[in-house]
Amino acid sequence: MARTQSAAGVAVGQYRMPAEWEPHEATWIAWPHHRDDWPGKFPPIPLVYGEIVRQLHQSEEVRILINGPAGEKRARAVLEKLSLDWKRISFWKIPTNRVWTRDYGPIVVHNDWGSRSIIEWQFNAWAKYPNAQRDRAVAFSAYRLLGGDFYHEAAIVDGTHVVLEGGAIDVNGLGCVLTTEECLLSKVQQRNPGFTRKDYERTFAKYLGAHKTLWLHKGIVGDDTHGHIDDLARFVNARTVAVAVEDNSKDKNYWLLQENLERLQGMTDLDGRKLEVVQLPMPSPVWWEDQRLPASYANFYIANDRVLVPTFNDANDRKAMGILAELFPKRTVVGIHAVDLVWGLGTLHCLTQQLPSRK
- 183 in catalytic set: no
Query: How confident is the model over 245-289, as pLDDT tens digits?
Result: 999 999 999 999 999 999 999 999 999 999 999 999 999 999 999
pLDDT, average across residues 133-147? 96
Q: pLDDT category, 11, cuts 50, 70, 90?
A: very low
pLDDT for res 245: 98
Is pLDDT at 52 greater than 80 in this prediction?
A: yes
Determine contact, residues 159/153, Cβ cutoff 8 Å.
Answer: no
Buried b (16+ CB within 10 A) or exposed e, 239-259: bebbbbbbeeeeeebeebbee
pLDDT at 187: 82
Helix ranges (H only) for 169-303 are 181-184, 197-208, 253-265
DSSP 126: G
Per the CB < 8 A criterion, the answer to whether 64 and 92 are in contact is yes
**In this structure, are residues 19 and 238 in contact, taking their beta carbons and an 8 Å threshold?**
yes
What is the value of pTM for the model shown? 0.95
Do 62 and 352 form a contact (C-beta atoms < 8 A)?
Answer: no
In this prediction, residues 100-116 reach a mean pLDDT of: 95
- The pLDDT value recorded for residue 43 is 97
pLDDT of residue 231 exceeding 80, the answer is yes
Among the listed residues 350, 353, 355, 356, the single catalytic one is 350
Using the predicted structure, report yes or no on whether residue 339 has a pLDDT greater than 60: yes
Domains of the chain: 15-356 (3.75.10.10)
Interval 115-123 mean pLDDT? 96
- pLDDT at residue 9 above 70? no
pLDDT at 12: 41
